[in-house]
Structure 1
Amino acid sequence: MSLLILFLLMFTVNASAQDRDKPAYRLFTKSGKSISYGKMLKELKEADVVLFGEQHNDPIAHWLQLELAKDLHQAHPQNFAIGVEMFEADVQLVLNEYLANQAPESNFEQESRPWPNYKTDYKPVLRYAREKGIPVIATNVPRRYAAMVSAGSLSALGGVSEDAKKYIAPLPIAVDLNLQGYKRMMGMFGSNMHGNTKSENIVQAQALKDATMAHFILQQVNQGKQLLHLNGAYHSDNFEGIGWYLKQEQPQLKTLTLTTVLQEDLDNLSKENKEKADFIIVVPASMTRTY
């Protein structure tokens, strides 16, 4: 009898494990408390800026970005904009023409230097923006200027033209090398890279991107728009990066952040992922990637 009971118990446990739900994601507050999408959305609606930190190849984050764009636009139909790290500031004209149905989609994709995963991961957001007449802002610094800084520090920007400065945060750009994200980056690259290129220059190039994205975000906020910004999580995790520059310019600005992390366990937020953002999207570690 005891063996039969044991067998039945084992069968029940196995069946229970097989029948469990397999959620695509779970949401937590920064302290690790579970929260529903609806409750999170209620808070995000009240923000001036929402920084959505993604893992670039995570399909769940990209889907949630689209859904959040729809919901925030519904809440602020006349005063909503989307900012994107994935496009550089010097392609704003062709981006505007595409959104206004003036430039064919094929031309836009040829001339705007989209990321390789644009069609799978960002195109749905841009198509929704075009359909609803939502402004989309290319916030990233053109990569040629980031390359200049990587090679020669921020001082290399001293000789750029006035036309070039339209695509860069106002100079000079302050950099706090004591921010944890920048310190970790310096540790990753060591003291030197490729001969004369110092790790500090790499961090300054990252700061240039963060400052420039914050600059273009604030232009929209100052026009009375709520802005949803899509960026790699490293640019906004731990309330640093873009958020740090926003705070330097406008300390009273209400900025809320999201980040995306991978975990085996979706029931609890791991200690290392707490306090990374106001809201943490936990995606199964086994989730398929878009590339």
Structure 2
Amino acid sequence: GLEMIQQKCQPALDAYLAKEIPDLAAADEALYEQTEWATTWPWPIEQYLPVLHLARSKGLPLIALNTDKDVMDKVKQQGLEALTDQEKQKFVSDPQGFIGAVRDQGFKWYTEMVILPGYERQAAAGMLGPNPTQRNFFAARILWDEAIASRINSYISEHPKELVVALVGSDHVKHGFGVGWRLERLLGGDGSPIRDDGTDREKKRDPWDAPVKNILLNPTAKESGSYGVPKLNLVIGYAEKLEYLRPLADFVWFSKSPRVSLISRMMDPIN
């Protein structure tokens, strides 16, 4: 699944994978235009071509995961109240859980440490349009993650035996409070999708044995919330109780060996 492509652009992605344009370079260019890449994603498509080319050559399905840009722009300026009923139905499959999630104590910490600093960075860079507010940015951000999780949940319901790998930004992975956390909520206790009527919501399972795993690629010390020393902060605690501690991710994956000083060789018991 690809965070960088709007859900409405799924037909363009399907055509690309079906090789409707046989020439690869021409197909890449068509996908770039048809997905509105230049106006919807800040990083060059060239960074993602290895994934796209692999899927095209191997016949692997790809899922367009992101909220449509016009909807996201509207929420950034006007908040969730601006969503139409049709848009709510498309991007939020579990309204009850979506609203209730923001009351989670750990998510409140995640908002303070991850989401709001993102607002400051993007507002300073002029990425949020005229008159941005923290409130609307927060609304857009939780809709972003919920829409991605809802789309993955929908795909799993149609393809229950398939493994889904979603490529998303690191802030949507850290400490399990991004897309993965929301997808876990949408999945039943046995890993099957929650039904539209909201039943089976009371199923409980060990969060360490969840069907969703978060993998953080090439994190830096700063990205992990460690500012005092150049070491990864592998766990966060937002309460004194041990069960409320959250790991940085289920797995940390490095493309090449990290600096020796980045990871403690002898970890404290909590880490």
- TM-score (norm: length of structure 2): 0.63
Q: Percent identity?
A: 24
Q: Residues 91 and 151 of structure 2 are in contact (CA less than 8 Å); yes or no, is this contact kept in structure 1?
A: no
Structure 1 residue 257, shift from structure 2 partner: 0.9
Please say which structure displays the higher CA radius of gyration. Answer: 1
Query: 1:84 maps to what in 2?
Result: 2
- 1:138-287 equivalences under 5 Å are 138-157=64-83, 159=84, 162=86, 164=87, 168-170=91-93, 172=95, 173-174=98-99, 175-176=101-102, 178=105, 179=107, 180-184=109-113, 185-186=115-116, 189=119, 197-222=132-157, 223-224=159-160, 225-252=162-189, 253=191, 254-260=211-217, 261-262=219-220, 270-274=231-235, 275-282=247-254, 284=258
Which one has a larger percent strand, Structure 1 or Structure 2?
Answer: 1
Structure 2: how far apart are the matches of 1:195 and 1:109?
27
Structure 1 residue 167, shift from structure 2 partner: 5.0
Query: 1:92-129, CA deviations, whole angstroms, 9 ceiling, x for partnerless residues?
Result: 01110010011451222211123454443211111111
Query: 2:16 maps to what in 1?
Result: 98
Point out where structure 1 has 5 or more consecutive residues left out of the alignment: 1-82, 286-291
Query: 1:47 maps to what in 2?
Result: none
* C-alpha RMSD of the superposition: 2.9
Structure 2: how far apart are the matches of 1:102 and 1:216?
25
Structure 1 residue 200, shift from structure 2 partner: 2.0
- 1:34-53 equivalences under 5 Å are none
Q: Residues 216 and 252 of structure 2 are in contact (CA less than 8 Å); yes or no, is this contact kept in structure 1?
A: yes
